[in-house]
Chains A and B, each alone.
With several copies, the nearest count.
Chain A
Amino acid sequence: MNESVGQLQQARTADSATIAVVRGEAVTQLPTDLYIPPEALEVFLETFEGPLDLLLYLIRRQNLDILNIKVAEITRQYMGYIDLMQALQLELAGEYLLMAAMLAEIKSRMLLPRPESLEEEEGDPRAELIRRLQEYEQIKTAAEGIDELPRMERDLFDVAASKPDLVKQHADPEVDLKEVLTALAAVLRRAEMFQKHEVKFEPLSVRERMGDVLALVNSQDGFVDFGDLFQPSEGRMGVIVTFLAIMELVREALVEFVQAEAFAPIHVRGASGVVDHAPVFNTNYGGEADSDMEAAVDADADADSDEDR
């Protein structure tokens, strides 16, 4: 019997006179190999995490190899505890009784001679118990290992400096091009439900150039030399696209041509909405020609040819 249990027992005997205990001596009512006084038994029991833990303790206390359990002896001790707990009317978890039954069964099987064939079939009745004990001890050790790891709040502490005044930053939403295309698909579906005619789109190259031309015309006080709209460096394709863009702008009455007299320089200006200059280029740019023009572009430029009609 050790000191702390002794102290505990002394503390407890003050209000519990059921069993007299002499310090350092095993109590007569208890099995001789139990070194725990009954007063301490409840605390003792609470220190175990269950029947496997208690069994492990009993085995370790005898310095026994798990593989070499003297089942009879361990069973006797284990039963001793169970009896004692019941005698003291301690609340006993069902798992302890289950283990008691298992131990009793193993013990009886060890004692009874069995036909060899059956023995081979079922193996050592202790094997399952040993496996469980090993598995449990492994986890018990692992839990102790985790408990020893340096951890926050006990061995390590989080640190923080006080924050500066935060600068409120406004971020623009991110958009994936696919989202834009999905949105377009949705709007096209809707448009086709509501409208008889197909929504018509010009080739994108022309559309883009239309915007550029319009912006250029408007940036130059709405008056630009026709020739200045073309970039010879873009080559034939570029010139055609620009030309188509100007034609389309004229057709949509967004720009108009101005020529002072025959063979004079042609100028392009933002449409005024009022036709007041005498020689104005023909703005009656028909739909048929439109398709021809686009066909021309398609024939020349692969990049544009896949545009939907």
Chain B
Amino acid sequence: MDEAQIQRIIEAALLASDGPLTVANLTKLFGPGELDEENATRQVREALKALQEDSADRGVELKRVASGYRYQVRQELSEWVSRLWDEKPPRYTRALLETLALVAYKQPVTRGDIEQVRGVSVSQNIMRTLVERDWIRVVGQREVPGRPSLYGTTKTFLDYFNLQALTELPPLAEIRALIEPALVEPDESITVAVQTTDDPETDPESADVVQLHSGASPSN
């Protein structure tokens, strides 16, 4: 058997195996006469060496670990590969979204102002989250006892929601129309639906519905 074929078999076996394989494991994959009887181990070692060199510039590398050889993803690529297992980001609470909306429409506002409109207290946590996200910022203090911070929205906020300026936000009349839908013309109302979570798997090319042709040549 030629070297290239030996390398192919070893590469395939290492990648198909669930764990590392030793030189002995690999040698056993070959049938009688496929390796030189006397040099079998050396042939396998040489193939491993060649595969190692071959993987020098690839996304995976052939490494020798305690229990044998295995292919592993290069550590320096983990930044990208890790994203495969990224958890879905959590969703913001309704309280946070209400707070954000009030800051946007009523800025500059204090936490107290927001609490007054919402009718419930606003946790410090919510304000901190919004500030950390750089969607709101402290723009000053109200000169009343306690000097509460006044919040306003930021450029980042506008950028995230793809707005040039706050004036591009729908006027309050439209928002109120959401409360009393009967007051607006059906086709004027803006449809507000909370997006359902998108399916990241969706690939428009591989739709589930496929036409079956009996006898037709398969399409590509």
Which A residues are closer than 8 A to B by beta carbons? 1-6, 8, 24, 40, 43-44, 46-47, 49-53, 57, 60-61, 63-67, 93, 95, 99, 132, 134-147, 149-169, 171-192, 194, 199, 201-205, 207-208, 210-212, 214-215, 217-218, 252-255, 270-273, 303-304, 306-308
Contacts and interface: CB of A to CB of B under 8 A. Distances in A.
Interface string B190-215: 10111100000000000000111110
Contacts of B178: 66, 134, 137-138, 141, 181-182, 185
B16 A163 contact: yes
B24 interface: no
Contacts of B70: 158, 161-162
Interface string B158-190: 011111011101111101101111001010101
Interface of B: 12, 15-18, 60, 70-75, 77-79, 81-83, 85-92, 94-95, 97-98, 100-102, 104-108, 117-121, 133, 137, 139-144, 147, 150, 152-153, 159-163, 165-167, 169-173, 175-176, 178-181, 184, 186, 188, 190, 192-195, 210-214, 218-219
Given A157-B72, A191-B117, A214-B108, A181 B92 contact: no
Given A185-B176, A205-B165, 13 more contacts: A47-B192, A50-B120, A142-B101, A142-B172, A147-B92, A153-B89, A157-B72, A159-B15, A161-B15, A164-B75, A166-B78, A180-B101, A201-B106
Given A159-B60, A201-B105, A165 B78 contact: yes
B118 A190 contact: yes
Nearest to B77: A164
In the A-B complex, the 10 residue pairs with the smallest Cβ-Cβ separation, listed nearest first, are A211-B152, A308-B172, A273-B143, A50-B120, A184-B101, A183-B97, A159-B15, A164-B78, A185-B178, A47-B192
Contacts of B60: 159, 161
A176 B194 contact: yes
A1 B195 CA distance: 23
A208 B105 contact: no
B152 to A, nearest CB: 3
B140 A272 contact: no
6 contacts: A1-B218, A49-B118, A135-B117, A152-B162, A155-B75, A180-B97
B89 A172 contact: yes
B70 to A, nearest CB: 6
